[in-house]
Chain A
Amino acid sequence: MSTFVSVAGTGIIWLALLGPVIALLSHLSWNAITKSLTAPGALDPLVISVESGLVTLGVLFVICTPLAWMLARGKLPFPRVWETGVLCSLLLPPLVIGLLLVFMVGPYTPIGSLLADLHQSATNTFLALVIAEVYESAPYYVLGAQSAFASVEPRLEQQAGLLGDRPRRVFRRVTLPLAAPGLAMSLSIAWARAMGAFGAVIIIAYNPMGIPLQIYTTLQETGLASALPYALVLLVVALPLPLAAYIWSARAGRRRRG
């Protein structure tokens, strides 16, 4: 009886969490999908989102992986100060991040002037879109990667060093493979956040238009029904990577358990 209650309770919560996805699927018609997505240029926002998302992932991996490792290993003085900095961008509402980015990289700021000298701009450009996505997704990656590195036993790295591996080789042969499942999960969560980034994007990168803004403008201009196909596209593009990462990390865990 108690098992039945637990399963039933969990099932209700599970269905409630999945409710929006179920609603999306139940309100979509094949005709609406083909009509919306086969119009000329209809998939341009998708291409923009995927491209900017991939660049964002690259930037996060290159810049934030060492930061996460140093935070996990306590390599930085005053670690709480650094962690608070990372948490700040997580706690700030995305819309506020967008507003503040205008003051940071907008055309009338030192960074904006520098970019202008290089014939670049961080407002309403692909660069601006990437910057907004990086700010919205970075804390998810940094905190996840920090936890992935912290789960690697430092004694194993020490042992690898004593067996003759230089620190860089230890990182490649021990730290990275052991942290990889956690890193992949964090990266895929950051990907989902980047793909769905809206608040900061609408402020500094209204153009070029990615999928989230396409959904918003379609909703504004032609209503809910024509926006839904884009919502489906966003889900289809954003979800496979986290799912693949989940399956891969579960398989890595099974392999380690023998």
Chain B
Amino acid sequence: MLDADVEVDRREFTVRAAFQVAPGERLALFGPSGAGKTTLLEVIAGLVPPRRGHIELGGRVLTSTAPPVRAVPPWQRRVGLLRQNPDLFPHLSVRDNLCYAPSASPSAAELSSLASLLGIEPLLAAMPARLSGGQAHRVALGRLLLAHCDTLLLDEPYTGLDASLRRTLTHLVASLVAERSVPAILVTHELTDAQAFADRLAVLDRGAVLQVGAPDEIVLRPASRRVAELVGYLGFVPSGQTVAGVHPERVIPGAFGDRGLVLTGTVTACRPAGAGWEADLSVGDAAVTCRLPDKPSASGGDIVVTVLDPPYFGSDGTVSSVPAKDGEARPEQVRGL
């Protein structure tokens, strides 16, 4: 179990977070760049001292600012940190990189089976400069696994890799975390990476944890307008005393009043997006972006769409209870002016 409760001063704000990650559990810290996510990992790894805090890993107190004060140095923490740059030692071969940790003394069979699991078996004699980005990441991951770390901290490790490689590595790490039963934390500003990896997702912004929950719950039921903005809601349409959040991927063409909020808007722009189309709609004073399976009629025309079960926010940005479906408080249809 990784148990952290820390406060770290940064130049612009203080990062405050308290969370527990169970053995085998995968937590994703999601938030924009500069939110303080990496700082949290560095505090856990012992690279940055917290102003106040208590960190325990597997029953060992790593950091405590309250008496008895404790600050275990990084080399005794058994914390594995994988960053965006794999940081392989350039003067050592792949094999020597894998076996670098003093605690790593794998048998030939163990080394070979790990290398084959990671798909780097033919590269054991190669020097890091010869590896591609994906191969280097696999070696760095293997090095952490052979070091028998008590927790895995992943700091945007897949940035710069192509989508299919990210998917493969994410699944690989997820299965290894489960197999080794260690707590793992992924820091990322990519929501899809966080969702693909995590059992639980924490949204961090300017040092504060805004919401913690299941990956789907965070997107479908954001706790505040700020969380909604961070997880991809691109439009906010006034609806009575509240505003409804519109996620582009939670919009379907047509009017289905029983499934959500029906909007009529004017198409102001339209472009291909993946296998479908992304359209910008003008709904009254609000601008809404939505993903549609078919290309909407020419720009300037009106279309009717339904926002599936949208979250509603009050004027203070906090989530508002969803008005009764048939009540007057909830306008089922907002007409573009």
A interface with B by C-beta (< 8 Å): 153, 155-156, 158-167, 169, 173-174, 177-178, 252, 255-258
Q: Considering only CB atoms, which chain B residue lies closest to A170 in the complex?
A: B75
Contacts of A256 in B (CB 8 A): 90-91, 127, 129
Q: List 27 A-B contacts (CB under 8 A).
A: A156-B87, A156-B89, A156-B90, A158-B74, A160-B100, A162-B45, A162-B47, A162-B74, A162-B79, A162-B81, A163-B100, A163-B101, A163-B102, A163-B104, A163-B143, A164-B76, A164-B101, A166-B75, A169-B102, A255-B91, A255-B127, A257-B127, A257-B129, A258-B127, A258-B128, A258-B129, A258-B130
CB distance from B203 to the nearest CB of A (A): 27
- B214-254 vs A, Cβ < 8 Å mask (1 yes, 0 no): 00000000000000000000000000000000000000000
Are B127 and A162 touching (Cβ within 8 A)? no
Are B91 and A178 touching (Cβ within 8 A)? yes
Q: Considering only CB atoms, which chain A residue lies closest to B80 in the complex?
A: A162
Known: A163-B147, A166-B75, A258-B127. A158 touches B47 (CB 8 A): yes
Are B81 and A159 touching (Cβ within 8 A)? yes
Interface assignment of B103: CB less than 8 Å from any CB of chain A: yes
Contacts of B103 in A (CB 8 A): 164
Compute how far the CA of A130 lies from the CA of B100 in the bound complex, rounded to whole angstroms. Answer: 41
Are A160 and B89 touching (Cβ within 8 A)? yes
Sample of 11 further A-B pairs with CB below 8 A, known A169-B102, A256-B91 = A153-B87, A159-B87, A162-B47, A163-B144, A164-B101, A165-B75, A167-B75, A177-B91, A257-B127, A258-B126, A258-B128
Interface assignment of B167: CB less than 8 Å from any CB of chain A: no
Chain B residues touching A, range: 20 to 34
Contacts of B81 in A (CB 8 A): 159, 162
Known: A158-B74, A257-B129. A164 touches B89 (CB 8 A): no
CB distance from A157 to the nearest CB of B (A): 10
Contacts of A161 in B (CB 8 A): 73-75
Interface assignment of B159: CB less than 8 Å from any CB of chain A: no
Compute how far the CA of A164 lies from the CA of B103 in the bound complex, rounded to whole angstroms. Answer: 7
Q: Of A162, A165, A174, A252, which one neighbours B77 at CB under 8 angstroms?
A: A162
Compute how far the CA of A161 lies from the CA of B87 in the bound complex, rounded to whole angstroms. Answer: 12
Contacts of A169 in B (CB 8 A): 102
Q: How many A-B residue pairs have CB under 8 A?
A: 67
CB distance from B127 to the nearest CB of A (A): 4
Q: Considering only CB atoms, which chain B residue lies closest to A153 in the complex?
A: B87
Compute how far the CA of A215 lies from the CA of B126 in the bound complex, rounded to whole angstroms. Answer: 51
Compute how far the CA of A75 lies from the CA of B210 in the bound complex, rounded to whole angstroms. Answer: 38
Q: Considering only CB atoms, which chain A residue lies closest to B93 in the complex?
A: A258
Interface assignment of B166: CB less than 8 Å from any CB of chain A: no
Interface assignment of B85: CB less than 8 Å from any CB of chain A: yes
Contacts of B101 in A (CB 8 A): 163-165
Are A178 and B90 touching (Cβ within 8 A)? yes
Compute how far the CA of A204 lies from the CA of B294 in the bound complex, rounded to whole angstroms. Answer: 91
Compute how far the CA of A258 lies from the CA of B97 in the bound complex, rounded to whole angstroms. Answer: 14
Output the residue of B74, B83, B101, B102 with the most chain A CB within 10 A.
B74
Interface assignment of B330: CB less than 8 Å from any CB of chain A: no
Q: Considering only CB atoms, which chain B residue lies closest to A167 in the complex?
A: B75
CB distance from A84 to the nearest CB of B (A): 29
CB distance from B239 to the nearest CB of A (A): 49
Are A174 and B79 touching (Cβ within 8 A)? no
CB distance from A212 to the nearest CB of B (A): 38
CB distance from A240 to the nearest CB of B (A): 25
Are B85 and A155 touching (Cβ within 8 A)? yes
Compute how far the CA of A164 lies from the CA of B79 in the bound complex, rounded to whole angstroms. Answer: 9
Compute how far the CA of A153 lies from the CA of B74 in the bound complex, rounded to whole angstroms. Answer: 18
Q: Considering only CB atoms, which chain A residue lies closest to B85 in the complex?
A: A155
Which residues in window 48-91 of B have CB below 8 A to A? 73-81, 83, 85, 87, 89-91
CB distance from B2 to the nearest CB of A (A): 15
Output the residue of A155, A163, A166, A258 with the most chain B CB within 10 A.
A163
Compute how far the CA of A43 lies from the CA of B203 in the bound complex, rounded to whole angstroms. Answer: 77
Are A164 and B127 touching (Cβ within 8 A)? no
Compute how far the CA of A75 lies from the CA of B196 in the bound complex, rounded to whole angstroms. Answer: 42
Compute how far the CA of A58 lies from the CA of B92 in the bound complex, rounded to whole angstroms. Answer: 28
CB distance from A257 to the nearest CB of B (A): 5
Q: Considering only CB atoms, which chain A residue lies closest to B147 in the complex?
A: A163
Compute how far the CA of A177 lies from the CA of B97 in the bound complex, rounded to whole angstroms. Answer: 14
Known: A155-B83, A161-B75, A258-B129. A174 touches B147 (CB 8 A): no
Known: A159-B81, A256-B127, A258-B126. A164 touches B75 (CB 8 A): yes
Are A155 and B87 touching (Cβ within 8 A)? yes
Contacts of B127 in A (CB 8 A): 255-258
Output the residue of A156, A166, A258 with the most chain B CB within 10 A.
A258
Q: Considering only CB atoms, which chain B residue lies closest to A178 in the complex?
A: B91
CB distance from B182 to the nearest CB of A (A): 15
Compute how far the CA of A104 lies from the CA of B32 in the bound complex, rounded to whole angstroms. Answer: 60
Compute how far the CA of A92 lies from the CA of B104 in the bound complex, rounded to whole angstroms. Answer: 52
CB distance from B91 to the nearest CB of A (A): 5
